[in-house]
Structure 1
Amino acid sequence: MTTNPAYIVQALAVLSLATGWALHARRLHRRLDRSRHDPLTGLWTRDGWTRRAERIIRRRPRAAVLLADLDGLKAVNDVHGHAAGDAVLSAAGARLTAWCAAHGVAGRLGGDEFVAVVEDDARLDDRLADLAELLRQPVEHQGVTLTVGASIGAARLASLSEPTLTAALTAADQAMYRVKGRTRRGRRLLLAPAFAALRGLPQRLRLAA
């Protein structure tokens, strides 16, 4: 049976076009994926993190959302330059990623503000305190030791009247700024009120001190 040369040419052209579109789609996907990652810390950007956080919340209604803010980063930038500030941000991103591990997903909202959604368990309040300590660990940059503070606010989805990501972020944000208002260099951790109540009266008295 004789094959029509014109048919072969047409088939090759279609195959070439399909291959070209497949390569284009793959490159586009890579670019979109990169655009959803913060180039400095490697964390998800706001949009990328929000999509994943929404999925986690739908599957795990007992998740917790936290906001973390680095205190004193402006002073680092002013005294040592923005490269030093970037080193602090990069270290914070790596530490937050390691802390989340397989238990959640972290992101960078912008500036020195970070966010994460994690599993809620009996040790969550202690793990959050550990995170605050991690973020306050010194960072070495070009022979200089850099130190910043960390303010963290967190909210449990299960303790909110409206268990949505928006409501959790609002509660965590309020908790974080109460930390900033009560402490110097953000050296303490404050959970959203319904969450903090679980720690008991002695803890509340310590936070109010």
Structure 2
Amino acid sequence: MNSLFPAMAAAGPMAAAWTAHTVWMRRRLDAARRDPLTGLHTRAAFERRAMRALAKGPHVVLLLDLDGFKKLNDTFGHAAGDEAIRSTAASLNDTLTDRPGSMAARLGGDEFTAIVPLPNAAVLPWLLGGLHGEITAPFAYRGRTLAVGASIGAALTAALPTPSLSLALRRADEAMYAAKRSGGGWQVAEGTEPLPTVNGRRAGRSGTHGGA
């Protein structure tokens, strides 16, 4: 019996060290799934979690791209562009904070996506209008006040034949480019079937980041 106590005392620090190591590993894995500039999910992490979420009920899938981002980069430098990216991520987080189950990601460049549980589609215009207003609000950078535009496309999973993430992203992509062609703002995909062509989007998408 006396030998049990020293053994237990020796096991205590080992258990604590193992727990700390487990916490450290989890943090490292979570960091690997996050975009280093914005802290949002990366594409791969977003897709894994979003596919599971869409199976649980109606959502809206959003795709957004900044307008005037290349001009801002060229005029004020890449650091200003990075600040615009961070500001956009903060706007996404602010808009989605009060909507449990929402998730946002940076797909790359100045393109972002998000999924939002949406049992009532009637609130979608307020969601999109609020998000667009947040993103396009001026932000401070080294004593200057800068701003970018945004084009947002939305696809309701309830309007799709199946709650497919790839199909929802394609429909949101089409709506986003329709908004961009109209000068920015937001647009909701209409109908259930994707268009015959999507300007090369979803299949290579060369030259689509950091656009006009």
TM-score, with length taken from structure 2 = 0.79
2:29 is equivalent to residue 32 of structure 1: yes
Is the contact made by 2:93 and 2:104 (CA closer than 8 Å) also made in structure 1? yes
Structure 1 residues 35-94: Cα deviation after superposition (integer angstroms, max 9, x where no partner): 22223222222233223323321222x111000111111111111111111111111111
Is the contact made by 2:55 and 2:163 (CA closer than 8 Å) also made in structure 1? no
Find the aligned partners of 1:126 and 1:44 in 2 and give their Cα distance: 24
2:85 is equivalent to residue 86 of structure 1: no
Find the aligned partners of 2:109 and 2:10 in 1 and give their Cα distance: 49
SS at match of 1:77: helix
Larger Rg: 1
Q: Which runs of 5+ in 2 are unaligned?
A: 193-212
**Residue in structure 2 matched with residue 201 of structure 1 by the alignment:** none
Find the aligned partners of 1:125 and 1:171 in 2 and give their Cα distance: 17
Find the aligned partners of 2:123 and 2:20 in 1 and give their Cα distance: 46
2:191 is equivalent to residue 194 of structure 1: yes
Find the aligned partners of 2:124 and 2:50 in 1 and give their Cα distance: 17
Across the aligned residues of Structure 1 and Structure 2, the Cα RMSD in angstroms comes to 2.2
SS at match of 1:194: coil
Higher normalized contact order (CA 8 Å, seq sep 6+, divided by chain length): 2
Aligned length: 188
Find the aligned partners of 1:164 and 1:18 in 2 and give their Cα distance: 44
Q: Give the drift of 1:18.
A: 4.2
Find the aligned partners of 1:41 and 1:48 in 2 and give their Cα distance: 14
2:111 is equivalent to residue 113 of structure 1: yes
Give 2:115's aligned amino acid: V
TM-score, with length taken from structure 1 = 0.80
Find the aligned partners of 1:20 and 1:135 in 2 and give their Cα distance: 44
Q: Which runs of 5+ in 1 are unaligned?
A: 196-209
Find the aligned partners of 1:21 and 1:166 in 2 and give their Cα distance: 40
Q: Give the drift of 1:133.
A: 2.2
Identify which of 96, 99, 102 aligns with 2:98.
102
* Residue range with higher mean Cα deviation, 48-57 or 62-71: 48-57
Q: After the TM superposition, which parts of structure 1 deviate over 4 Å for at least 4 consecutive aligned residues?
A: 7-18
Percent identity for Structure 1 against Structure 2: 43
Find the aligned partners of 2:55 and 2:98 in 1 and give their Cα distance: 17
Find the aligned partners of 2:10 and 2:116 in 1 and give their Cα distance: 50
